[in-house]
Amino acid sequence: MYIYNVTSNIEDKAHDEWLHWMKTIHIPEVLATGKFLSAKMTKVLTEEGTGQTYSVQYTVASKEILESYYEENAPKLRKEGLKLFADQLISFRTELEVIDEFFVHKNTATHHLFTYGTLQEKEVQLGVFSRVLGGYDDNLYAYKISNTKVAGLYPTLEPTENPQDKIQGKVYILTSDELKKADFYEGDAYKRIEVSLSSGKKAWVYLAK
């Protein structure tokens, strides 16, 4: 896991316009490349000199994916920022390798989520939830993996009404905030429904809309 960090100092006179552009256009466009798992924007509170300073941290699964971003996407995206803000903006970039992560866990997780795809991957979990999830195996009957993939890439399930059909998956227990993060990760192409698992537990699962 790597973090691609972009630190930017923007002059006060262009601050509001730049911040709006970053939140509504630039960061979504960077994430839309499909190279990154998540992004976090922070403001540097200890100011030196003029203007205001921000840091945007993009999480990426591997150095190879980051290199492909540099080659395929970065030149165009950087050019757009320079065109709009030119001499009002100074940015520098650093790469960070995640060695380990440590978290304080609170017993507030109450939502069971049945997964069968990318949410089982450690790198995705770190990007979405900022922690590796501890789950357990369970089965969902009367469903199968659909032959039609979302956006031609991502799997989904479809009900069959056949009790012999079975999906083997992993169940994770999430907090309400983490469930919202999962909703954001899955996006508008998926809907979340409640199902009954073979263990007898109720759980959420994502299906294509």
pLDDT digits (tens, 9 = 90+) for 130-174: 888 988 999 999 999 999 888 888 899 999 989 999 999 999 999
Q: Flag the least confident range among 14-28, 66-80, 102-116.
A: 102-116
CA-nearest of 185, 207, 189, 176 to 114 is: 207
pLDDT greater than 90 at residue 86: no
Fold observed for domain 2-97: Alpha-Beta Plaits (3.30.70)
Neighbours of 155 (CB within 10 A): 14
Instruction: Enumerate the domain spans of the chain.
Output: 2-97, 111-208
pTM, two decimals, is 0.56
Q: Which residue has the tokens 């304080």?
A: 104
In which band, very low, low, confident or very high, does the pLDDT at 67 lie, cut at 50, 70 and 90? very high
Q: Does domain 111-208 have CATH number 3.10.490.10?
A: yes
